[in-house]
Amino acid sequence: MGALHKMTGVIVRHGGNIVSVDILEHGDRSAVHFEIQHISDPDALERDLRALDVIDTVDRVPSMLQVYGKRIIVVGGGAQVGQVAIGAISEADRHNIRGEKISVDTIPVVGEHQLAEAVRGVARLPRAVALVLAGALMGGEITDAVKEVRRSGILVVSLNMAGSAAKEADLIVSDPVQAGVMTVMAVARTARFDIERQRGRTY
């Protein structure tokens, strides 16, 4: 009872800033993964966590940002999502072998409400920096969702499609493979591509 409260209390006493928390259930046991910043004495924190009666083991692992890096999320119709992924994954590989860390997540989604929820969800995903709208027709509630995620700082790239959603994107690209490539270039620190100079354009 109160296991999470006890653990976070120890972290706070050590001045830690909890960036994210994941709880994984394994039968009658749970694994809690914290990403923590600003710990001056990690060894002391680990000792104090081990001393809690609710904890069996404590392991230090690399953060998800260190392992998987920035996330690009591709949503829309299956065929278009697949083509965008081809471009994004190929370009990400080119930058990742030079020290960048970029991962690509895809989800084919059907229906205006479902797509709008998927778009809004990107703003809540850890490490997400960019969204690609990969479809043939998006508007209505999806357009409102695009505006919301852009306000949260997420870059939005759209295929050139029917509907009002594309007009709210930072960049519109007609070819899906090129859309994936340009999205990676826009977020990669190893690329010479300034999205501020391209914002609002259609290719």
Q: Where are the domains of the chain?
A: 3-61, 66-198
pLDDT of residue 55: 93
| CA-wise closest residue to 130 among 146, 142, 116, 117 | 146
The rounded percent of the chain whose pLDDT value lies above 70 is 100
* Band of pLDDT at residue 108, cut at 50, 70 and 90: very high
Where are the alpha helices (H) located in 71-140, listed in sequence order? 78-96, 112-122
pLDDT (tens digit per residue) in 67-91: 889 999 999 999 999 999 999 999 9
What is the fold, at CATH topology level, of the domain defined by 66-198? Rossmann fold (3.40.50)
| CA-wise closest residue to 60 among 69, 47, 78, 73 | 47
Extract the tokens encoding 74.
């591709």
pLDDT (tens digit per residue) in 15-28: 999 988 988 888 88
The residue that leads in pLDDT, 150 or 196, is 150
Q: Which whole number is the average pLDDT over 55-60?
A: 93
What number of H helices and E strands is found in the chain? 8, 7
pLDDT (tens digit per residue) in 111-139: 999 999 999 999 999 899 999 999 999 99
The rounded percent of the chain whose pLDDT value lies above 90 is 81
Q: Which whole number is the average pLDDT over 8-15?
A: 95
pLDDT of residue 1: 52
Predicted TM-score (pTM) of this structure: 0.83
